[in-house]
Amino acid sequence: MEKINEIFVLAAELAIKDGAVPVEEMYERKVDNNWTIVINGSKEKKYKGLDIPPFCMYVEFNGLPAGLLDPWDGVIAAGKEANEDALIRALKVALKE
């Protein structure tokens, strides 16, 4: 599974765990001390002044934009601490809590 797809699947599993499905509006979740995800489940919405397209997920790292993805494609920060692997690890830990 490609990492973008894995991130979206893990985020969806977290929304299910939190009882937030179906996501008809916005699902916002602080994953850990660094990561926050926001899933838009309907028409285009604003989050902190940013347009989040329908059925997409916006990602922040330490309160800063770090990614935008849908179930098939997207971009995630590629820094030393903020990257796909770090987000995947954080989502997996959150699912176990």
- pLDDT above 70 covers a percentage of the chain that reads 99
- pLDDT above 90 covers a percentage of the chain that reads 79
What H or E segment, with its residue span, contains residue 2? none
The whole-angstrom separation of Cα 3 and Cα 19 is: 24
Flag whether pLDDT at 79 surpasses 80.
yes
DSSP character for 19?
A: T
pLDDT in tens, 26-43: 999 999 999 999 999 888
User: What's the one-letter identity of residue 30?
Assistant: K
DSSP character string of 35-54: EEEEEE-SS-EEETTEEE-T
Ranges of each domain in the chain: 3-96
Flag whether pLDDT at 67 surpasses 70.
yes
The whole-number pLDDT of residue 1 equals 57
